[in-house]
Structure 1
Amino acid sequence: MSYKLTFIASSVVLALSPAIHAEEVSIFDEVVVSGTRSEQSIKNIPSSVSKVSSEQMEENLATDVKQSIKYEPGVQVNGQGRFGMEDFTVRGMSGSRVKVLVDGVEQPSSYNPGADVMRKNANTFEVDTLTAIEVNKGPTSTLYGSDALGGTVLMRTKNPEDLLGAGDDTHVGLKTGYASASDQYKATVEVANRTGDLETMVIYTYRDGNETETHGDGADIEGPDRGAADPYKIESHNVLAKAFYQINDAHRVGLTGEFYTREAKGDILSGEGRDGGMPGYIYTNVRGEDKDDRYRLGFEHEWQADLTAFDTLEWSLNWTESEADHNSYDHTVAKGNRNRARSGKDESLQFDLQMQKTIELATSRHELTYGVAASDDKFSLSYTDYDLDEGTSTPGSEEVPSSESEKRAIFIQDQMFFMDDRMVVTAGLRYDDYKATPDSSSGLEEHNSDALTSRLGAVYHWNNNISTYAQYSEGFRSPTIYEMYYDKDNTMFGYRIEANPDLKPEESQSYEVGIRANNRLGSVELAAFYNDYKNFISSKSTMDGSVEVTRNENISEAEIYGAEFKGNLWLDEAFGAPMGTYARLSMAYLDGEDKETGDTLDTIAPFTTVVGVGYDAPSDVWGSALTVTTVAAKDEWEDADNLEAPSYTVVDITGYYRPMQDLTVRAGLFNAFDEKYWQYQDLEGTTASTEGIDRRTQPGRNWGINLDYAF
């Protein structure tokens, strides 16, 4: 497979080599934030950063984050069904090993204790509020601390300035659309205004749909063999409001408020007749009611100081709360009619202070970024079992006690420009301290850990068209509350799970090299990387008589390596095609293993290729694109009996038309040839005898349409 990637990538680079040398015009000037914690051109960042803009999300008719980044190499979004999006996988790392931020505010990782009645998923993000999604691949702990072991996903929401023109201005935007895959209707209203030194904005989005459908071949029956999606209705509301005031030339303050709520309910037909494994536990009348909420309130201040210690100072204080409430109803002979009510809550107060200073020397320029970060977090569960026949209730068995955690950090970064900016060297250092304290009634011990991480990278611009880069970076991840304090004694069922507050942080070391090249004909970017991980936290089981005892330990080491390629070619310039015609290509190859066992990691994505051809009319009135995604089979898993994920090819067709300046109509036909396929991550943990395997498929042929009117 590695030879195949090398051959294909080399062929593409050679094919575009005339473009690389033809003319010195740079197009790698796209600005990102996640690479250095401040706005910086991608061309000066010594690592891979993918950016999906709001325009690209709209072009692809994305209804959620998963659809927004589906064409990005090396990145996947996990989760489907009743509880929706769960987490990200970046270059083989997933869950809390990938840090997720919204406007720099850390988001809690998903909580999944394994039972089918409780999830606290990361499913409360509204794409219509986003101006971009950035994915910084590889360890980024020197920038963002714990959890950035394998990468960072930064979602940037819109500001008033993104919607307004120059001077005093008012913007009103209306968006509506329909997506057949989830039978979803949406409506979004944007209002922004600038009057003098005050900028304000409100964005409201409403969505009404159903659980995303599976392929049409799935049997529409009741029971575990059901292949169709459950008839689960999902409704969401999101309100984002911002206000910024320019006090004077030196000071600007801002206030942000956001509220997201997702309500879902319906019959879980796939659970009808399921055997619970004990006498009297055949489930009927299975249905669910879910509610997920996320709140954010933030204040920020920017100071253009021009002092000796710093040129600019930015600080922010953000309060966030997210809560998931699930009611799971069923009937069994043993328990009668019941409701297993499960609730989980995360609350966080986060402070971030960042200063920047530019120092001009005789032969170099230094852009220093340094500051501190602190957060106080609370996590709690509340479980109650209701006997609906008797009208009584009893406390449920909560796996993890209520816990509090504290994070403190100090960081510094120096981006150095030499040789008239031809050589850019970036060095960073960060120290993080972490403390977790479980509720005293649990009898469990407090956890303390810390980490010092470093980063060193360089970009060399051979000319305006060709750059090479290399970087060494470190990452770490403190153990989660769940990993340390999951404590459950269920010896009557033959097992016991023991807490382990003495876990050490996971660590990673990453090496990456790459080349970027571009001119008027197109651009190419090729990156190769090797990531080494140690102190991986994994569960270890032993027998205590007839009872299986499971405990998390730092017992695993892993390595992941691969290469990624992205290329764009203007077909009109290169081959005389109609003006506005272009092609794009991306490929991602990944491999890796558990160094203790030699097994291929379940999170290793199969070789993926995305090819696109499109046309944008010079008049900007209409355009279309055809995208072909090909994914190889995944037949190597940590469990040799895991079901193989077959290879597949999916064709998507999108287009837009602007009948007037302020109105845009977009339409798309997705999976045009009705391919039946599974994403590899949805088959993890399955065997050939797994029931209802068709329920894990992706949608068959589906379509969508959006209308966008701004005035």
Structure 2
Amino acid sequence: MFIKRYLILVPLILATCFDLKGQEEDVEEVVVISSKVPVVLSEVIGSVALITQEDMEDRIVADIGDVLSKTVGVSVSTDTAYGRYYNDGVSIRGLGGTRVNILIDGIRVSDAYTGYGRDVVDPELLKKVEILKGPSSALYGSDGMAGAISYITKDPFDFVTGDGAFFSGTYAHHADTEHTKVAMLGGFAFDGVGAYIQVANRDRSEMELHDDITDSASNPFTGDGKSFISKVKYKFSETVALTVTFDKQTWSGDWILNTELGTSGAYFPRIITTTSSLGDDEGSRERLSFSYDFSGNSFFDVGSIKLYKQETDQQQITNKERLVLTMSNFGPPAPPMPMAVFRDFQFNQSISGITFEMNKQLKFGERMIHDIVYGFNTETLDTQRYRNSSETNLITREVSTLVDGEQYPGKTFPDTETVRTAFYLSDRVTLSESTTGVLGVRFDNHELNPNVDRLYSNTAVSTDVAEINDSETSLKVGLLQDLGDRFSAFVQYAEGFRSPDYESANLSFTNFARNYAIISNPNLESETSSGYEIGVRANFDYSRFSVAAYTNEYEDFIDSAFAGFSNRGVMLFQYRNLDEVTIDGYEVSFDTVLNDNLDISFGYNSSNGEKNNENLTSINPAEMIVNFNWKSNNNRFKFSGYMTRFDQSTTGLPATCGRSGSACLTLPSYTIYDVFSSFKVNENITLKAGVRNLTDQKYWKWGSVNGLAVDSANLDLLSEPGMNVNASVNVRF
């Protein structure tokens, strides 16, 4: 592979590891996600990545795709449904979607569903992002098959040292989507009481396609989004505090869905020519949480209790105009009839819960120290998926609720209450000055309580729904061993699982025009994963190096499968526990401070996978990221550059892609260059600018297009933008 040739640079770079003189020693960041206690990155058992607020601001990020784009082994794919395109989900080391836990201040972000994605957190709210690579269910419960991502919002006491008030305002523009952001933040910290309010407004359009792609390929879009967060924190003492957080986001947009225009015979004997398709979308997410930290007793040193509620509501409305020609077995067809189609699809989910967590440090002898975290969590998710559509004959004014072979109104799965209850314990134990271990165990109980109503019965093939009451115990164990003053090694075993959700267990509907149906499965079992990782680290005064190898084994993968025919000859499909998947790979990282002005970093990830003993083609190609950061002596000027290199896409693809008969798409290797700069005009004003895709490379992310044919109609929509400029100005007092 092309990238592997770059790895010969690593030994040369390592030559800089040894005591460089004349610069300040690098200060390590602290993370919590690995064991629920603060740990510096070099002492984490396993693999964790950190994205700081400074990094997000310097790269002028606009969405979660931008936030995670410079973290090796982590990717955000783009998908399209109903003519919309969106950031679909996060993949960690080859696996993603619903198999990655995503949290904001310890609270789950709402699930993704067709046409929506999980990009529902405004980066403007964030202080930092922590990423745990590898199975995470021993700490964070169901869905932690591949890892976990923790969004952490800003704290009032982050903005000032001591007492005082603070204010900042930011204006940013992104040329690739004509995305304009205006944000303002203000607050105070005084005598143990801190509070702030932040508001942000965003206006944007569709992503600008590469110059080599015709404008007709795009679906024009205009939209806006607003975010608001207010946090109040009262410190009664050093260990006792009350924090109240409320944040809300809203978004809306109008689409011109050009990709839905044209003639289709998919619903024969009806030949449909769509002449107009317009989308009107909106959504919101709001969260209210109360967190109380308190001092302990003989059973715990400090504890916390958190109550929270989060609601996410999303709606897509589509209006189409089309001509319908109905073919006849007897004589010529009737003249085309003008039709108007109205479609209203919704996805709504609320999450409420309580977490009780305690920390206890135990010392045995002079060297053995146990840092123990144990707790209890219960949360309830209420999920609805309402769908309605109608077709109106514009001449006769007759209205039909049988549209494109499906009966409306309806629900593809019943309204569902999901109850998750968990008890967990994590113990990070210092065994000696050179040896540290970690043990985590978590018991999760999962209940799926569907509520069958008329709307579900109206479309379901069968109302024999799955009511699930299942439990899983997840384990994590690891060891970190110092190998002298500079080197250390770690080994870890971790488990993950994903319990059957409302969709995989109870999705059921019929498409009469295409003669297929999906039926529920009351016998689904949880997916499980086992992760093994071993790594070596080197820590010098101004440099760090690590290499890790991992193998993740996944069993009882839930996937759609052919289930036979109904007594009327309708093809039946059903979600079943089918697949066994193995993903293995290795990851290399290196960073060094060359002098007071310059630092560089290097990251590399390569993964391979098998699914039922066949090549897993969804795995991202090998990836390499090289980064340098320069700053002036007076810290007023900063400049950074990134080189991101992806190898060619995986080999071993099928001869034809699906039922299309066309060859499957493959991608060549490519390199993307990004540069960013900032200038601190004075203590209050900072200007930033950046150029992404500096060489105007035309490319696609493999996670967005794998499985598509070379002549796929949506291929251009899923491409990435060409060279684009971003800029921002920030004012702080």
What's the TM-score once normalised by structure 1's chain length?
A: 0.92
- Equivalent runs, 1:263-412 vs 2, <5 Å: 263-275=252-264, 277-278=266-267, 279-305=270-296, 307-334=297-324, 336-362=339-365, 363-387=367-391, 389=394, 390=397, 394=401, 395-412=408-425
**Counterpart among 489, 494, 505 of residue 484 in structure 1:** 505
- For the pair 1:423 / 2:427, whether they are aligned, the reply is no
In structure 2, C-alpha distance between the alignment counterparts of 1:30 and 1:354, rounded to whole Å? 24
* Other-structure match for 2:334: none
- For the pair 1:19 / 2:23, whether they are aligned, the reply is no
In structure 1, C-alpha distance between the alignment counterparts of 2:146 and 2:613, rounded to whole Å? 21
Do 1:190 and 1:203's aligned partners in 2 also have CA atoms closer than 8 Å? yes
Shift of 1:219: 1.2
* Other-structure match for 1:581: 598
Shift of 1:638: 6.0
- Equivalent runs, 1:523-542 vs 2, <5 Å: 523-542=544-563
- Equivalent runs, 1:140-219 vs 2, <5 Å: 140-166=136-162, 168-219=163-214
- Equivalent runs, 1:670-689 vs 2, <5 Å: 670-689=692-711
* Other-structure match for 1:115: none
* Other-structure match for 1:575: none
* Other-structure match for 1:599: 615
Shift of 1:4: 7.0
Shift of 1:12: 1.2
**Counterpart among 473, 490, 494 of residue 469 in structure 1:** 490
SS of aligned partner of 1:691: coil
Q: Residues 302-324 of structure 1, C-alpha deviation per residue, up to 9 Å, x if partnerless?
A: 0022x110001111011011011
* Other-structure match for 1:237: 226
Change (3 A) 1:640 1:453: farther
Change (3 A) 1:445 1:68: closer
Shift of 1:89: 0.4
Do 1:600 and 1:636's aligned partners in 2 also have CA atoms closer than 8 Å? no
Question: After the TM superposition, which of the residue ranges 284-293 and 388-397 deviates more from structure 2?
Answer: 388-397
Do 1:25 and 1:465's aligned partners in 2 also have CA atoms closer than 8 Å? no
Shift of 1:566: 1.3
In structure 2, C-alpha distance between the alignment counterparts of 1:28 and 1:475, rounded to whole Å? 32
SS of aligned partner of 1:564: strand
Do 1:25 and 1:518's aligned partners in 2 also have CA atoms closer than 8 Å? no
Do 1:92 and 1:560's aligned partners in 2 also have CA atoms closer than 8 Å? yes
Q: How many correspondences in the alignment?
A: 686
Shift of 1:39: 2.3
In structure 1, C-alpha distance between the alignment counterparts of 2:732 and 2:221, rounded to whole Å? 33
In structure 1, C-alpha distance between the alignment counterparts of 2:236 and 2:399, rounded to whole Å? 58
Q: Which amino acid in the other structure matches residue 96 of structure 1?
A: T
- For the pair 1:48 / 2:47, whether they are aligned, the reply is yes
Change (3 A) 1:553 1:26: farther
* Other-structure match for 1:555: 578
Q: Which amino acid in the other structure matches residue 636 of structure 1?
A: T
Shift of 1:519: 2.1
Change (3 A) 1:18 1:239: closer
* Other-structure match for 2:630: 615
In structure 1, C-alpha distance between the alignment counterparts of 2:547 and 2:573, rounded to whole Å? 43
Shift of 1:613: 2.8
* Other-structure match for 2:131: 135
Do 2:239 and 2:302's aligned partners in 1 also have CA atoms closer than 8 Å? no
Change (3 A) 1:656 1:492: closer
Q: Which amino acid in the other structure matches residue 651 of structure 1?
A: Y
* Other-structure match for 2:640: 625
- For the pair 1:107 / 2:106, whether they are aligned, the reply is no
Q: Residues 179-232 of structure 1, C-alpha deviation per residue, up to 9 Å, x if partnerless?
A: 1000011111011211323211111111101122221111122xxxx2xx3210
In structure 2, C-alpha distance between the alignment counterparts of 1:346 and 1:9, rounded to whole Å? 46
Change (3 A) 1:649 1:8: closer
Do 2:589 and 2:601's aligned partners in 1 also have CA atoms closer than 8 Å? yes
* Other-structure match for 2:95: 93
In structure 2, C-alpha distance between the alignment counterparts of 1:137 and 1:239, rounded to whole Å? 30
Change (3 A) 1:569 1:248: closer
Do 1:28 and 1:42's aligned partners in 2 also have CA atoms closer than 8 Å? no
Q: Which amino acid in the other structure matches residue 570 of structure 1?
A: V
Alignment root-mean-square deviation, CA = 2.2
* Other-structure match for 1:256: 245
Q: Residues 69-95 of structure 1, C-alpha deviation per residue, up to 9 Å, x if partnerless?
A: 111100001225635222100011111
Q: Which amino acid in the other structure matches residue 447 of structure 1?
A: I
In structure 2, C-alpha distance between the alignment counterparts of 1:598 and 1:28, rounded to whole Å? 45
Change (3 A) 1:430 1:20: farther
Q: Residues 629-662 of structure 1, C-alpha deviation per residue, up to 9 Å, x if partnerless?
A: 1111114366443211222111111111111112
Question: After the TM superposition, which of the residue ranges 439-448 and 86-95 deviates more from structure 2?
Answer: 439-448
Q: Which amino acid in the other structure matches residue 91 of structure 2?
A: T
* Other-structure match for 2:77: 78
Q: Which amino acid in the other structure matches residue 444 of structure 2?
A: D
Q: Which runs of 5+ in 2 are unaligned?
A: 325-337, 402-407, 454-462, 657-663
Do 2:617 and 2:650's aligned partners in 1 also have CA atoms closer than 8 Å? no
Q: Residues 256-288 of structure 1, C-alpha deviation per residue, up to 9 Å, x if partnerless?
A: 101101101031122221526122322121110
Q: Percent sequence identity over matched residues?
A: 22
Shift of 1:9: 4.6
SS of aligned partner of 1:316: strand
Change (3 A) 1:638 1:354: farther
Shift of 1:107: 1.5
In structure 2, C-alpha distance between the alignment counterparts of 1:291 and 1:86, rounded to whole Å? 17
What's the TM-score once normalised by structure 2's chain length?
A: 0.90
SS of aligned partner of 1:58: helix
Q: Which amino acid in the other structure matches residue 48 of structure 1?
A: S
Q: Which amino acid in the other structure matches residue 53 of structure 1?
A: T
Change (3 A) 1:558 1:25: farther
Question: After the TM superposition, which of the residue ranges 494-503 and 98-107 deviates more from structure 2?
Answer: 494-503
Shift of 1:698: 0.4
In structure 2, C-alpha distance between the alignment counterparts of 1:519 and 1:274, rounded to whole Å? 65
SS of aligned partner of 1:142: helix
In structure 2, C-alpha distance between the alignment counterparts of 1:124 and 1:134, rounded to whole Å? 17
SS of aligned partner of 1:354: strand
Shift of 1:695: 2.3
Shift of 1:18: 6.1
SS of aligned partner of 1:282: strand
Change (3 A) 1:645 1:536: same
Do 1:444 and 1:501's aligned partners in 2 also have CA atoms closer than 8 Å? yes
* Other-structure match for 1:504: 525
Q: Which amino acid in the other structure matches residue 17 of structure 2?
A: A
Change (3 A) 1:248 1:656: closer
Shift of 1:418: 2.3
Q: Which amino acid in the other structure matches residue 580 of structure 1?
A: N
SS of aligned partner of 1:620: coil
* Other-structure match for 1:66: 65
In structure 2, C-alpha distance between the alignment counterparts of 1:15 and 1:700, rounded to whole Å? 31
Change (3 A) 1:360 1:11: same
